[in-house]
């Protein structure tokens, strides 16, 4: 049965890929890992060559800003975070634009806030923009607009992590697969960083309250923000909207190609469309 679920991933047409800061930076310095970014661009370009729509939700703007400004530590104030993001977002897109162009692909930038998604007119416009960009065969690159989001007011106009943001994007564009690339192999029965006996779960048929309770908002790096709780919240949004989701280790970004080929990588969360699905309710829901 597991093989059947995995095999059908080959037929996915619209794919959202989220990659976290820890997967895009050197652990020693926090600087952008250009080799890793180039490998990711190559994988995405190959998916485009197969006729698939691909949207990339990329962290790394603040890390890029830290690198450009010569700072090694995470920002400790909202103003500092927004300043790093303002510098880093341009730097990050410059890197993506340059490398994608080498593979004859065009990248487009979309910056979102929670207010964009909760306002009906803005959400409709964002959806139309995504559709037109995909029709033009570009690769939309999405990030939260950290220069104006106010994380000091939780869940008002700030998503808080790109895991949930990527699931919202997947639901908005009607994606049929969401891949979360993280610093962990998948969903475990316990935190594998603390419990070596924890077992990885290959397939999750349904997001249950018990499963959500397993999520622990921890992160193994100083550049990422989303722990397992955020990933499970993303899984609930994605699967209820009718989108399969996979959590996989982004250490080797070629895992994306393996996933699309049906190999058993990461944890697969099976889509089970909720007839009463309303994106607004999921955006505002506190997990």
Task: Tell me the two tokens of residue 27.
Answer: 């652990």
Chain segment 197-206, per-residue pLDDT in tens: 888 999 999 9
CA 39 to centroid of chain Cα atoms = 17
Measured at the alpha carbon of residue 30, what is the angle toward residues 144 and 185, in degrees to the nearest 5?
Answer: 75
Which DSSP string do the residues of 252-278 spell out, in sequence order? STTHHHHHHTT---SEEEPP---TT--
β-strand pairing of 177-182 with 244-249? parallel
2-284: CATH, from 3.40.1160.10, 1.20.120.530, 3.60.130.10, 3.40.50.170:
3.40.1160.10
Buried b / exposed e along 232-245 (16+ C-beta atoms within 10 A): bbbbbbbbbbbbbb
DSSP, res 112:
E
Segments making up each domain of the chain, as ranges: 2-284
Per-residue confidence band for 228, with pLDDT thresholds at 50, 70 and 90: confident
The listed range with the strongest mean pLDDT (118-122, 144-148, 263-267) is 263-267
When mean pLDDT is compared across 38-52, 54-68, 217-231, the lowest value belongs to: 217-231
Q: What is the pLDDT of residue 70?
A: 87
Q: Which long-range contacts (CB under 8 A, 24 or more apart) does 63-70 make?
A: 63/21, 63/24, 63/25, 63/30, 63/31, 63/32, 63/88, 63/223, 64/32, 64/88, 64/89, 64/91, 64/92, 64/95, 65/89, 65/91, 66/30, 67/29, 67/30, 67/31, 67/32, 67/91
pLDDT at 222 over 80: no
50 alpha carbon, distance to own chain's centre: 21
Reported as a single tens digit per residue, the pLDDT across 9-33 is: 999 999 999 998 889 999 888 899 9
- CA separation for the pair 171, 9 (Å, rounded): 17
Q: Tell which phi-psi region holds residue 124, choosing left (phi > 0), alpha (psi between -120 and 50) or beta.
A: alpha
Whether the Cβ atoms of residue 46 and residue 3 lie closer than 8 Å to each other: no
pLDDT tens, position by position, 138-172: 999 999 876 665 544 344 445 557 899 999 999 99
How confident is the model at residue 190, as a pLDDT? 79
- For residues 274 and 240, what is the distance between their CA atoms, to the nearest angstrom? 5
60-113 per-position pLDDT tens digit:
888 899 889 988 777 788 888 889 889 999 999 999 999 999 999 999 999 998
Q: How open is the CA angle 255-257-258, to the nearest 5 degrees?
A: 60
Instruction: Note whether 244 and 177 are within 8 A (CB).
Output: yes
| Mean confidence (pLDDT) of the chain | 87
- 0.85 surpassed by pTM: yes
Q: What is the pLDDT of residue 278?
A: 83
| Region 171-191 average pLDDT | 92
**107-112 and 244-249 as β-strands: parallel, antiparallel, unpaired?**
unpaired
pLDDT of residue 283: 79
* Predicted local distance difference test score (pLDDT) of residue 160: 57
Angle between helices 120-135 and 162-173 (to 10 degrees): 70
pLDDT at 221 over 90: no
Beta bridge partners of 177: 15, 244
């Amino acid at each position: 049965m597991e093989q059947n679920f995995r095999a059908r991933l080959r037929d996915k047409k619209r794919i959202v890929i989220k990659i976290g800061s820890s997967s895009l930076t050197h652990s020693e310095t926090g600087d952008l890992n250009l080799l890793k970014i180039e490998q990711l661009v190559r994988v995405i370009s190959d998916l485009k060559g197969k006729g698939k729509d691909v949207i990339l939700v990329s962290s790394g703007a603040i890390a890029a800003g830290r690198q450009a400004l010569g700072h090694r530590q995470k920002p400790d104030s909202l103003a500092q975070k927004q300043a790093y993001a303002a510098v880093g977002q341009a730097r990050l897109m410059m890197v993506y634009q340059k490398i994608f162009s080498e593979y004859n692909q065009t990248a487009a930038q979309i910056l979102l806030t929670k207010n964009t998604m909760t306002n009906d007119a803005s959400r409709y416009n964002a959806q139309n923009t995504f559709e037109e960009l995909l029709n033009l065969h570009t690769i939309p690159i999405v990030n939260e607009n950290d220069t104006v989001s106010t994380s000091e007011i939780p869940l008002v106009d700030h998503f808080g992590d790109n895991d949930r943001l990527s699931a919202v994007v997947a639901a908005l564009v009607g994606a049929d697969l969401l891949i979360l690339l993280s610093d962990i192999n998948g969903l475990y029965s316990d935190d594998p960083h603390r419990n070596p006996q924890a077992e990885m779960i290959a397939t999750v048929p349904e997001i249950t309250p018990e499963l959500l309770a397993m999520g622990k908002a921890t992160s193994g790096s100083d550049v990422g923000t989303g722990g397992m709780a955020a990933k499970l919240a993303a899984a609930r949004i994605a699967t209820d909207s009718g989108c399969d989701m996979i959590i996989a280790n982004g250490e080797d970004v070629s895992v994306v190609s393996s996933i699309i080929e049906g190999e058993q990588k990461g944890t697969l969360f099976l889509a089970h469309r909720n007839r009463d699905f309303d994106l607004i309710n999921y955006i505002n829901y506190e997990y």
